[in-house]
Amino acid sequence: MSSSAIAGPDGRLRCPWGLSTDDYVAYHDEEWGRPVHGDDALFERLSLEAFQSGLSWITILRRRETFRAAFADFKIASVAAFTDADKERLLADPGIIRNRAKIDATLANARALAEWPAGELDTLIWSYAPDPATRPAPRVLADIPAVTDESTALSKALKKRGLRFIGPTTAYALMQACGLVDDHLADCVARRVVTS
């Protein structure tokens, strides 16, 4: 795979990973790197990034609607109220990733977040967004880090508040996906959309 932006079938330059499947083209062009706000929306992204740990993102992306159905559209209050029967239902659901530790973490995270004031998750996560002026546009994939000081600090802050399964790498993937950082390559058409 090329490490710099490449032209897709439509002739537009994109990050190379964004052209590997049709699912990725849509996700890359329409979602990844766009600002996400709202506690429930961020809980969904946080949960899906945790489920992705050790797997490819396409595995999660293709199951996202099933995840949403299984986890009550990631409404924090609803997931926080899940019972042991719900947990068993999740462990038996072939449409999601049936990893006990990840399911337990999602349920525990919802219960912790249900105790937070409305808007606090959004405020906390976005407080770790770095100043865009300090981050030059990456020219090639090697310019994009897997972990940053900000993602390490965000991970620590979330863990301190009782959240699980959110290490610095997962926190950075969350920051990328939710638009706290713009890691579209400099020549990528989506970078111009995100920053304009």
Q: Across-strand partners of 6?
A: 14
Active-site amino acid positions = 27, 49, 57
Question: What are the contacts of 193-196 at 24+ separation with CB within 8 A?
Answer: 193/29, 194/33, 194/34, 195/132
SS3 for 39?
helix
Q: How far apart are CA 113 and CA 163, in angstroms?
A: 8
Convert 14-47 to b/e letters by CB count within 10 Å (16 or more is b). Answer: bbbbbbeeeebbebbbeebbeebeebbebbbbbb
